Amino acid sequence: MAVYGIDLGTTYSCIASVDEVSRPTVHRNQEDTDTTPSVVFFETPDNVVVGQTAKDSAVIEPDLVVSRIKRDMGHEVTRTMHGRPYTPEEISAFVLRKLAADAQTATGQEVTDVVITVPAYFGAAERDATRKAGRIAGLNVIDIISEPIAAAITYGVLNPDRDARILVYDLGGGTFDTTVIVLRGGDIEVVCTDGDHELGGADWDDRLVEHLAERFRQEHPDVGDPLEDRQTEQQLRRDAEELKKTLTTRTRHVVRVMHEGRVAKAEVTRTDFEALTRDLLDRTVDITRKTLQVARAKGVDGFDHLVLVGGSAKMPAVTEALGKELGVTPRLQDPDLAVAKGAALYAFEETYRRLLSAGDRETAEEMAARAGLSDGERRQIAGRTIRTVASRAFGIKATASNTRREYVAHLVQANDALPIEVTEGFATLDDFQTRVSIEVMEQAGAVASEELADNNLIAEGDLRIPPGKPAGFPIEVTFALDASGLLHVTAREDETGERLELNVRIGGMSEEEVAESRAALARVQVS
Convert 52-82 to b/e letters by CB count within 10 Å (16 or more is b): eebbbbbbeebebbbbebbbbbbeeeebebe
315 or 503: which leads in pLDDT: 315
Please give the radius of gyration of the chain, using alpha carbons only, rounded to the nearest integer: 25
Residues in the chain, how many?
527
| Vertex 146: Cα angle to 66 and 415 (nearest 5) | 125
Largest CA distance in the chain: 78
Given a contact cutoff of 8 angstroms between Cβ atoms, the answer to whether 67 and 118 are in contact is no
* Predicted local confidence at residue 157, as pLDDT: 66
pLDDT score for 483: 80
Give the model's pLDDT for residue 329.
86
Per-residue pLDDT tens over the stretch 256-299: 999 999 999 999 999 999 999 999 999 999 999 999 999 999 99
Domains and CATH numbers, the chain: 3-199+286-388 (3.30.420.40), 201-278 (3.90.640.10), 394-507 (2.60.34.10)
Single-letter residue type at 466: P
**What residues pair up with 399 in beta bridges, in sequence order?**
406
Which tens digit of pLDDT belongs to each residue from 383-413? 888 888 988 899 999 999 889 999 999 999 9
Instruction: Answer left, alpha or beta for residue 195, where phi above 0 means left and psi between -120 and 50 means alpha.
Output: left
More confident of the two residues 426 and 483? 426
pLDDT number for residue 159: 65
pLDDT in tens, 202-240: 999 999 999 999 999 999 999 989 999 988 998 999 999
Average pLDDT over residues 157-175: 83
CA distance 48 to 52: 13
Q: 25-83, pLDDT tens digit by residue?
A: 999 999 999 999 999 999 999 999 999 999 999 888 989 999 999 999 988 899 999 99
pLDDT at 6: 98
Q: Is the pLDDT of residue 453 over 60?
A: yes
Cα gap 522→520, rounded to integer Å? 6
DSSP state, residue 303: -
pLDDT at 116 over 50: yes
Per-residue confidence at 315, pLDDT binned at 50, 70, 90? very high
Q: Which region among 19-23, 82-86, 243-247, 432-436 has the lowest average model confidence (pLDDT)? A: 19-23
Q: Are 424 and 409 in contact (CB under 8 A)?
A: yes
Find the mean pLDDT for residues 303-319: 93
Spatial distance between the Cα atoms of 254 and 247, rounded to a whole number of angstroms: 11
pTM to 2 decimal places: 0.89
- Amino acid (one-letter) located at 234: Q
pLDDT (tens digit, 9 = 90+) per residue, 322-368? 999 999 888 887 889 999 999 999 999 999 999 888 999 999 898 88
Which residue in 332, 310, 348 sits closest to 25, CA to CA? 348
Helical (H) or strand (E) element with 347: helix 338-357
Mean pLDDT for all residues in the chain: 91
End-to-end CA distance of the chain: 26
CA distance 150 to 7: 9
What lies within 8 Å, CB to CB, of 398 at 6+ separation is 406, 407, 408, 409, 426
CB 309 within 8 A of CB 170: yes
Give the pLDDT confidence score for residue 504 in this predicted structure: 45
DSSP letters along 100-131, please? HHHHHHHHSS---EEEEEE-TT--HHHHHHHH
Residue spans of beta strands (DSSP E) within 31-157: 36-37, 40-44, 47-50, 65-66, 79-81, 84-86, 113-118, 140-146
d(CA 149, CA 1): 23
Is residue 506 over pLDDT 60?
A: no
Query: d(Cα 246, Cα 315) in Å, to the nearest integer?
Result: 10
